[in-house]
Structure 1
Amino acid sequence: MGLSLWLVPNAAQLQLIQGVLPKQPETRPVSAASYPNIIPHITLASSGKATQDTIITALPSPLRPIPVEFRKLEVGDHYFRSVFISVKKTTELVALHEHIMAALERDGASPSAPAFPHMSISYIADEDGDTERKKAADELRAVTVVEGSETGGAGTVVLRCGDSEEGRVWLSGFEGMEVWIVRCEGPVQHWQVLQKMSATSDVA
């Protein structure tokens, strides 16, 4: 796969989302490749040709925080999009994506970003198929994901992320505060984070 550029939540939100991601089920057998530990993110671009320096050069300067809004829980037909939350195409997110893609295209890196924008929450092997992917989505709806009218309107998703001293924690999106360069080669557990770059807010 090569290198990927990820938009990642702030540290607190990252921990909350990771805490509710599906784990390997104990009640039914699945492939060892299913349900690996993953880092919640939105892939801004991937390339088998780009170098780390090329990707850094493709980023806008300064890099600003990007608000992300969840839209819909979906089941896909690809390992890396087995169960995912599609994301609203906000002006800020689309502008960042298009800036990066155009810069990588100019450098001949042939970037891609299938089903942009989305946040995958389960990778499930093809041998476990549509049945397991649907089960994972159904279990999420039963425990973690609240959709539609319950969240205040169609086209919205909220994640139940446990409780705090202030009460129940809900996330309807996240603040994209870091962009990571990740080498995505081999099994997911062998992927390597090469660099983390923090977004900066305007100072009044």
Structure 2
Amino acid sequence: MGLSLWLVPNPTHLQLIQRVLPKQPETRSVSAASYPEITPHITLASSGKATQDTILRSLPSILRPIPVKFQKLEVGDHYFRSVFISVKKTTELVALHEHIMAALDRDGASPSAPAFPHMSISYIADEDGHAERNKAADELRGVTVIEDSETDDADTVGLRCGDSEEGGVRLSGFEGTEVWIVRCEGPVQHWQVLEKIAVTPGVA
């Protein structure tokens, strides 16, 4: 896959989301490649041709915090989009994405960002099939994901990220406060974070 540029939640939101991501099920057998530990993120761009310096050059001179709003829980037909939450195309998020894609394109990096914008919840191997991906989504709906009917906004979903003793934390999105450059080669557990770039403090 090469290098990817990720928009990552602020530390508090990152921790809350990570605690509810599905793990390998204990009640059924699945591929060892299914349900790896992942970092919640939105892929802004990926390239098999870009270098780390090329990626850095593609970023705006000032990075601002990016508000992210969850839209819908979906089941996909690709390993990296097995179960994911589609994200609303806000002005800020689209502008950042388009800036990066245009800069990488000018550098001949042939960037891509399939199904932008989305946040993957689970990677599930093809050999486990669509049925396993649907099971994972159904389990999320039963425990973690708050569907449209339970919210005031018919165009959003939320995540239950805390129990009642913790105040019943619910997230309908996150604040993106870091951009990571990640080398995505080989199994997910071998991916390497090369650099973390923080947004400019105090700029909204």
Report the TM range for the smaller structure's normalisation.
over 0.9
Shift of 1:169: 0.4
State the alpha-carbon separation in 1 of the partners of residues 90 and 145 from structure 2: 22
State the alpha-carbon separation in 1 of the partners of residues 114 and 79 from structure 2: 12
Unmatched tracts of structure 2, length 5 or more? none
Is the partner of 1:168 in helix, strand or coil?
A: coil
Residue deviations 1:30-61 (CA, integer Å, cap 9, x gap): 00000000000000000000000000010001
Shift of 1:166: 5.8
Unmatched tracts of structure 1, length 5 or more? none
1:174 alignment partner in structure 2: 174
Q: What letter matches 2:179 in structure 1?
A: V
Is the partner of 2:70 in helix, strand or coil?
A: strand
Shift of 1:132: 0.1
2:131 alignment partner in structure 1: 131
- TM-score where L is the length of structure 1: 0.97
Is the partner of 1:57 in helix, strand or coil?
A: helix
Is the partner of 2:127 in helix, strand or coil?
A: coil
Change (3 A) 1:115 1:203: closer
Change (3 A) 1:31 1:178: same
State the alpha-carbon separation in 1 of the partners of residues 4 and 203 from structure 2: 30
Shift of 1:100: 0.1
- Deviating runs (4+, > 2 A) in structure 1? 163-166, 201-204
2:61 alignment partner in structure 1: 61
State the alpha-carbon separation in 2 of the partners of residues 203 and 169 from structure 1: 26
Shift of 1:196: 0.1
Q: State the identity %.
A: 84
RMSD: 1.3
Change (3 A) 1:93 1:135: same
Is the partner of 1:162 in helix, strand or coil?
A: coil
Q: Does 1:5 align with 2:12?
A: no
Q: What letter matches 2:39 in structure 1?
A: I
Q: Does 1:158 align with 2:148?
A: no
Shift of 1:155: 1.6
Q: What letter matches 2:121 in structure 1?
A: I
Q: What letter matches 2:150 in structure 1?
A: E
State the alpha-carbon separation in 1 of the partners of residues 164 and 195 from structure 2: 31
The answer to which of 142-151 and 180-189 deviates more is: 142-151
Residue deviations 1:157-191 (CA, integer Å, cap 9, x gap): 00000137661100000000000000000000000
Is the partner of 1:141 in helix, strand or coil?
A: helix
Q: What letter matches 2:199 in structure 1?
A: A
1:114 alignment partner in structure 2: 114
State the alpha-carbon separation in 2 of the partners of residues 62 and 71 from structure 1: 27
Change (3 A) 1:125 1:190: same
2:192 alignment partner in structure 1: 192
- TM-score where L is the length of structure 2: 0.97
Asked if the contact 2:49/2:109 (under 8 Å) is kept, the reply is yes
Asked if the contact 2:64/2:203 (under 8 Å) is kept, the reply is no
State the alpha-carbon separation in 1 of the partners of residues 34 and 28 from structure 2: 12
2:103 alignment partner in structure 1: 103
